[in-house]
A and B are shown apart, each in its own frame.
Chain A
Amino acid sequence: MDDVLKEYSKQLPIKIIDEVKKSVPKNVSKSKLKEIMENILEEYKSMKVAFGESVGLISAESIGEPGTQMTLNTFHFAGVSEMNVTMGLPRIIEILDCSKSLSTPMMEIYLTSPLNKGKGIKEYAEKIKETTLGECIKEVSVNLGNSTIEVETDDNKMNILKITKNKIIKIVNTSLKGYTVKESGNLIILKPRGKEDTVNNLFKTKEKIKSIYVSGIKGITQVLPVKKGEEYVIVTAGTNLKEVLGMEGVDSSRSFSNDIREINSILGIEAARQSILNEVTKVIDVQGLNVDVRHIMLVADTMSISGLVKGITRYGVVSEKSSVLARASFETPLRHVINASISGEKDELNSVVENVMLNQVIPVGSGVPKLVVRKE
């Protein structure tokens, strides 16, 4: 049986062959199987997209129509209401435009054993979260009499983060210039070096202290351990894929971010393409709509064809078009026409839009083949 199937492995996708393997009885004769395979092959060939079919247009319709039914701005709450994620149409636009700054950057961090069973996950999550000094102190006050700043630390929080007072003093010392930092009792006292500081400056520093970076991964503002199926994962707001994947305890083969540009720079163009596919499918599934993956695949392929992720905008995919008229028909027509005339661009009229404009046969379907006369 395997021999016969192997013959067809070049012409048929693996998925179809696997399906045949599953559904055909084990004791099928060779000639019968061959007959089946021939029929399948014929059926498969007839199902292929015909040459000259305008697949892009069909994709646009197939994604666009459900888009009109999408809720305009829904927020999906991941576990707790504290964290919300952009979903629905705004998210689709964000992905396809390949925006630089996402409205809700997010990561899903998978963990290795024993963390994925939920053991010590809370402490671990705290370790990932970016913590500023403002979060590990109870109070900051300005002592006007001595013109010093007094910081009262929050021991509970420091225990969770496993930070000592000495470390905090060190951190403050390196990031604040012109102050001597000393510990006295349960307070940390900052004293301006040299002559006394003005009151105004003292208050300014007081605010500055709160935003000093203490621990965690930069860019991650919220963490949330969530149970997903059998295991626990950490969902974060804010992304920093590079740092997180390098961390111990993180399953670096499955954790991912929802920022496609970031994935492109860290995991490469193919990963970015796959993640465009995943992210769009996710949004469409949540909305309860049904779009064939092939359409999304086409979009993802178009966006990643140049080796860089390009959005479907006038700066991205559209700017790659060779025809001036096609570019001008999308957005900002004047700019394109003027630039083309300055550089003396030539339009070969090879594509669809420009030929529609000029009332000519478009190269789609039966318009593709051309008649060529051989000169003797």
Chain B
Amino acid sequence: MATPKFDVTKHILVPKHTIISERERKQVLEKYNITYKELPKILVNDSAIKHLKPKVGDIVKIVRASLTAGETIYYRGVINA
């Protein structure tokens, strides 16, 4: 896929994605009492995280705008496409 001329991350449908650190990663998995495999997934080549240059095995933190809570935090594990 060619790089688009527009900024994907600026689109209103796209929430903010960040790759979390090793320490935070442990906290997340501990908080929800799950293993990495049980997390929801996101593809490595997903347009919204391409600029972050993710690696397979990373955890992406997503801050969504939510109608019910104002803001919610969601985590997705990066997998191979």
Contact = CB atoms under 8 A, between A and B. Distances in A.
B41 interface: yes
A324 interface: no
A268 B4 contact: no
Nearest 8 A/B pairs, CB to CB: A268-B48, A15-B70, A13-B69, A307-B41, A252-B6, A271-B13, A14-B70, A246-B5
Contacts of B66: 13, 15
B15 interface: yes
Interface in A213-230: none
A246 B41 contact: no
A15 B69 contact: yes
Interface string B11-29: 1111101000000000000
Contacts of A246: 4-6
A294 B69 CA distance: 11
A252 B46 CA distance: 18
30 contacts: A13-B66, A13-B69, A13-B70, A13-B71, A14-B70, A15-B70, A16-B70, A242-B4, A246-B4, A252-B6, A252-B11, A265-B47, A266-B8, A267-B13, A267-B47, A268-B47, A269-B43, A269-B48, A270-B13, A270-B42, A270-B62, A271-B13, A271-B48, A274-B13, A274-B15, A275-B13, A304-B40, A305-B40, A306-B40, A307-B41
B79 to A, nearest CB: 6
Contacts of A253: 7, 10-12
Interface residues of chain B: helix, strand, loop or mixed (majority): loop
B49 interface: yes
Interface in B39-55: 40-43, 46-49
Contacts of B6: 245-246, 252
B14 A293 contact: no
A363 to B, nearest CB: 16
B70 to A, nearest CB: 3
Contacts of A275: 13
A267 B69 contact: no
Contact of B14 (A16, A267, A307): A267
A256 interface: yes
Nearest to A248: B5
Contacts of B79: 307
Nearest to B41: A307
Contact of A305 (B4, B41, B67, B71): B41
A274 B49 CA distance: 16
Given A252-B11, A263-B13, A270-B64, A308 B43 contact: yes
Interface in A245-291: 245-246, 252-254, 256, 263, 265-271, 274-275
